[in-house]
Structure 1
Amino acid sequence: MKSPYILTLALLLAGCGAAETPAPAETADVADATVPEAGSPPAAPPAAAVVDAATYIGKAGAGDLWEIESSKALLAKSANADVKRFAEMMIDHHTKSTAKVKAAAAEARLEVPIPKLDAAQQKMLDEIKAADVAGVDAVYLAHQKTAHDAALALHQGYATSGDTGSLKKAASEIVPVVEAHRADLAKLDPKS
């Protein structure tokens, strides 16, 4: 069986794709998975970078929306002060990154659609909301790792290969913030 962490990332990335292709049969195990196995290596970023502005804006918006909503769900249940501080920071920082992407899009005279979670993001959010008080921190942190790996790949890829200067600049400014979040996650869960 593949690591649930890698399978969750695969589902997240597959849900972000424009083409509707069936998932490999092995992803069926993801339904049971809420936390990665201890010692699981981080998943590799996606091979192809997003280069068009519309796709980048949509994925960045969905990612920020997921971060904000998942963190609000965590705050409603968690008793862990450190995890709650992280969640509050996620709400603040991802609200700011949304504003940064919107401003860059406006500068380029591009429309910013209302963000919408993809199926994988919705599934992770539902799992956080369904987790009991004793398990919510572990579920939240596992999904935060998955989401931040995907966000880092998205922003790094667009900063390098994107097609719109103002958005490339915004993406490059968001990359160090996402990297700092990943470092904070590693401190919260030393098993990672």
Structure 2
Amino acid sequence: MKYRILVSAIAATGALALATPAAAAGPEMTTPGTTTDVPPTPGVAKGEPGGAGAASLQNVDTKTYVQKAAMTDLFEVQAGKLALEKSKDKNIRKFAEQMVTDHTTTTTKLQAALKTGDVDVSPPTKLDAPHAAKLKELTDASGAEFDRTYVQMQVAGHQEALRLHQSYASSGDNATLKALAGKTAELVQHHLDEAKALSGNSG
């Protein structure tokens, strides 16, 4: 009888020893498809209000980044000049003037970075069809309709631009352009905050 009890105890102990590593490993197991934290991106803190957010960042190649960044600058300068001609709202005019100044500066910095970083990509010099259509929409609008349309475009455009710059700052393959993208993202975030404030005031 004592022999049987001893054998049973040994068997139970062995089973417990086999089960313990699996139980201990349980909390460490991950489910396929589980996301991991994304490293902080220059220009915006993780979870920062108004930011594009880590979940929206994408891999952007250098050619795409240069062309889209330059296109954004072209549109912002032309749209800003149009707002200075058409809008009577002092806050919108002040914002538009800042857009012309800041995006002219970012254009100059992008061109310099292309040379410094030895990037063989030619930025666009005229608006593409989608941006030309937006500019025409602004040209055809007037009064309160113009102000409302301009501000709406500014919010949407700067959200897209912020996502672009943050994405390249995170995953770009040219160090010079990555540094520029990070700094530009900070400026664009500021523009976005101001555009959202205008949106609330314009009704």
Tell me the TM-score normalised to structure 1 length: 0.72
Alignment CA distance shift 1:112-1:46 (3 Å): farther
1:1-192 superposed matches below 5 A: 47=56, 49-110=58-119, 111-190=121-200
Distance in 2 between residues matched to 1:113 and 1:158, nearest whole Å: 16
Q: Which amino acid aligns with 1:146?
A: A
Q: 1:68 to 1:56 in 2, by over 3 A?
A: same
When structure 1 is superposed on structure 2, of 151-160 and 107-116 the one drifting more is 107-116
CA drift of 1:118 comes to 2.9
1:57-84 deviations in Å (ceiling 9; x for gaps)? 1110000001001111111111111100
Percent pairwise identity: 35
Deviation at 1:113, TM superposition (A): 2.9
Cα distance, 1:103 vs structure 2: 1.2
Q: Which runs of 5+ in 2 are unaligned?
A: 1-50
Stretches of structure 1 lacking an aligned partner (at least 5 in a row): 1-41
1:51–1:157 CA contact under 8 A, matched in 2: yes
CA contact (8 A) 2:52 2:163 kept: no
Given that 2:75 and 2:127 are in contact with CA atoms closer than 8 Å, whether structure 1 keeps it comes out as yes
- State the aligned residue count: 152
Q: Deviations over 1:35-78 (max 9, x none)?
A: xxxxxxx9989956253211111110000001001111111111
SS in 1 for 2:143: coil
Distance 2:78 2:55 in 1: 24
Q: Which amino acid aligns with 2:190?
A: A
State the distance in 1 between where 2:145 and 2:132 align: 19
Query: Which letter does structure 2 place at the counterpart of 1:175?
Result: A
Query: Measured at CA, do residues 155 and 139 of structure 1 come closer, stay the same or move farther in structure 2, by a change above 3 Å?
Result: same
Q: 1:131 to 1:122 in 2, by over 3 A?
A: same
SS of the residue 1:117 aligns to? coil
Larger gyration radius, structure 1 or structure 2: 2
2:86 aligns to what SS in structure 1?
A: coil
What CA RMSD, in Å, does the superposition of the two structures yield over aligned residues?
2.4
Q: 1:150 to 1:114 in 2, by over 3 A?
A: same
The structure with the largest helix share of the pair is 2
Superposition TM-score, scaled by structure 2 size: 0.68
